[in-house]
Each structure stands twice: as C-alpha cells, then as structure tokens.
Amino acid sequence: MSSGTFKPPAPRLRRCYVLDEDEGLARRVPPGIRPVARQLATAAVVLLPVGEQPLQRWYGAVADGGAGMLVLRGAFARAVHVAGRTATEIFGPGDLIRPWDVGRHESVPREIAWTVLVGAELALLNEDFATRTRLWPEIFSALLARAEQRAEGLAVQRAIASHPRVDMRVAMLLWHLAGRYGVVQPDGSVRLDLPLTHRLLGELAGAERPSVSHALGRLTRAGLVARDRQELTLFGTPAAHEEAATRPLEARL
C-alpha cells in the first residue's frame, strides 16, 4: 500500500436547468415567462456518493455573489463538533446550503464535517447564475423562504433536544423527520427514507447512543416503530408516540 496521502476521486459534474429540477422554484416564476427563465437558470451540478465529503471545496465556487448550493437530490448530514460534543443537522432536496454565512464571527472553536447519507446532487448557484436570473426576483425570494424554513426546522429540533426525557426526544424527532422525509405506506404507516443509525439519531436529539437504543427499543416493543436495516417505519400517531414516551417505566414492561 502506498504511504502517500489518499486522494478521493474528483466528484462528477453535469449541468442542469434548475427550474426543471426544482418544481418549487419553477412555480414562483409566472408561466408566461417561465420558458425564458428556464433557459437562463442553469447551473453546474456536483454528483456526490455516500460517505464523508469535503463540501468546503465548493464554497469558493459560489461564495462571491452566488446564492449558495442547492440540494436537488439525496440527503446530507452536517455535523458540528464543539468541545467534544456533536450536533447534527440534515439537509435534503430543496435546501440551500450557505455555510459561509454561519458562524463567520463565532469565537468558539469548532470543526464541521459533511456526510452524504443518500447519494446526492448539488447545484452550484454561483454569481453567474445570480446575474442571469436577476430579472426574476421571485427565484431569490423563494430561496430566501427556504432559509427561513430551515431556521424554523432547527428551532423545532432544538426544542426537541431540550426535553429532559430521551424517550420523548427520540419519539418527537422521528415525527419531525417524518414531516420532511417520510413516505406514507398503504397501511397508513410512515417509512423514513433515511439511513438513521442510533449514533446519528443521538447527534440529532442531543442524546448518547445507548440512550437512543433504549428509547427505540421501548417504542419497538410498543408496536410503534419497526426497523428494516437502517430505515425506520413509524406506526400510530405522534400522540401515541408521545404517550408511550411519557408512560412510567414499569407500565412499559
């Protein structure tokens, strides 16, 4: 084996019509002028496989005058490590990544790691994209709304992580994720199309992995959660999960 530094293969690239890839953005442009906007709203797309990926290498491509990096497909986990603790956030289709705006004046030392959970495609909305689409402020208004939605989602996740009971954190976190990544099944259950390991759930909920495992075990025994490999299926309702999570321990057994 070579003793040199390992260099991962360069990510693959393609170009796309952004309005074809993101229906939410397309709907914000009036139908009569949408064909013209479609032709100009193009961007390079990075195709990233599952695993840890240095998204920092793409910051410079969009930092000067660009809108950011738009997730078209797949899912990312952004882990922030501070003083031996880790907090994680998940990005999915439609999310706009502008990491250079976060913590620019932060004095607390931190490390950030990006991991692709589901094979992803990331559109680079650079300064050229912004110039070509400046006639349609609706596009940037929609992207701004995405940033506000992300902030609201993080506020909910923070509230969940502050609950004193880990059982409740895990139960509410699962339904919080289901609202974004859940797929309703014919029997009414909800499948989470994310590889949710116990460690990842712990980083999302602010809990240790063993505590998450215990909480999932209790929900499973109550018939409210089932696991197929790393994917989870939720049964019942959020209220049923909340009741199970707050039930006295002796009543769960």
Whether 172 and 138 share a structural domain: no
Give the integer Cα–Cα distance in Å for 141 and 180. 21
User: pLDDT (tens digit, 9 = 90+) per residue, 145-164?
Assistant: 998 898 899 999 999 999 99
User: pLDDT (tens digit, 9 = 90+) per residue, 22-61?
Assistant: 999 999 999 999 999 999 999 999 999 999 998 888 888 8
- Of 103, 121, 148, the residue that ends a domain is 148
From residue 249, give the alpha-carbon distance in Å to each of 35, 214, 243.
Answer: 60, 12, 12
pLDDT at 104: 61
CATH of the domain at 21: 2.60.120
- Of 92, 123, 148, the residue that ends a domain is 148
Domain range holding 201?
A: 163-252
Q: Is residue 84 part of a domain?
A: yes
Q: Which two tokens stand for residue 54?
A: 């240095």
Q: Is residue 18 part of a domain?
A: yes
DSSP-derived 3-state class of residue 43: strand
Higher pLDDT, 250 or 70: 70
pLDDT at 11: 61
Whether 128 and 209 share a structural domain: no
Contact 113, 147 (CB under 8 A): no
CATH of the domain at 246: 1.10.10.10
- Radius of gyration (Cα) for the chain, nearest Å? 20
Q: Which contacts (CB < 8 Å, 24+ apart) does range 10-16 have?
A: 11/46, 11/47, 11/48, 11/53, 12/46, 12/47, 13/44, 13/45, 13/46, 13/47, 14/44, 14/45, 14/47, 15/42, 15/43, 15/44, 15/45, 16/42, 16/43, 16/45, 16/72, 16/123
Write down the pTM of the prediction: 0.87
Whether 51 and 170 share a structural domain: no
Whether 68 and 174 share a structural domain: no
- Of 99, 118, 148, the residue that ends a domain is 148
Q: Smallest Cα–Cα separation from 22: which of 8, 10, 34?
A: 34
Higher pLDDT, 198 or 247: 198
User: pLDDT (tens digit, 9 = 90+) per residue, 56-115?
Assistant: 888 888 888 888 999 999 999 999 999 988 999 999 999 999 876 655 667 888 888 999
